[in-house]
Structure 1
Amino acid sequence: MTDWQDAAAPIERGPEPGGLGAVYRVFGETLRGLKTTLGRVAEGHYVIQYPEEKTPVYPRFRGRHKLHRFE
């Protein structure tokens, strides 16, 4: 062995890949997205049977603004 090999400091490494941490890193964001999606499916829908049921119109509503540029 040479002198520079003896003087080199050992490298400390982290844990080996695998286990539950690796599973979370791989599937974590996918599982969060599925949780959000399934939560939205389970909460139900708000449906109006148009044209029988109209959406409420606020009393101060005067219609949609329209720009008449060339009049």
Structure 2
Amino acid sequence: MVFAKIGAGDNYIEAESVSDWYLRNLAIYSNIITPIDAKDKYVILIFGQGRIPILKHLLQNNDDFEVVEVNSVLK
């Protein structure tokens, strides 16, 4: 990310903005996995393009989940 490279000395405002963005993704991830019950077969998530790669990465690295594309489930 280009924004993470902006800043020096005591001013890392852009890097802080990127960390806030990642923190928001982690909060979303936590809000996704917390209410899910072991009996739930599917959970469908709809998010914007900017959030999907991070959320997908987090879910793919959680052994409790299998990430599949929605079109394979809706057939």
- Please, what TM-score do these two structures have when normalized by structure 1? 0.31
Over alpha carbons, which structure has the higher Rg?
1
Greater relative contact order structure (CA < 8 Å, 6+ sep)? 2
- With the length of structure 2 as denominator, give the TM-score of the two structures: 0.30
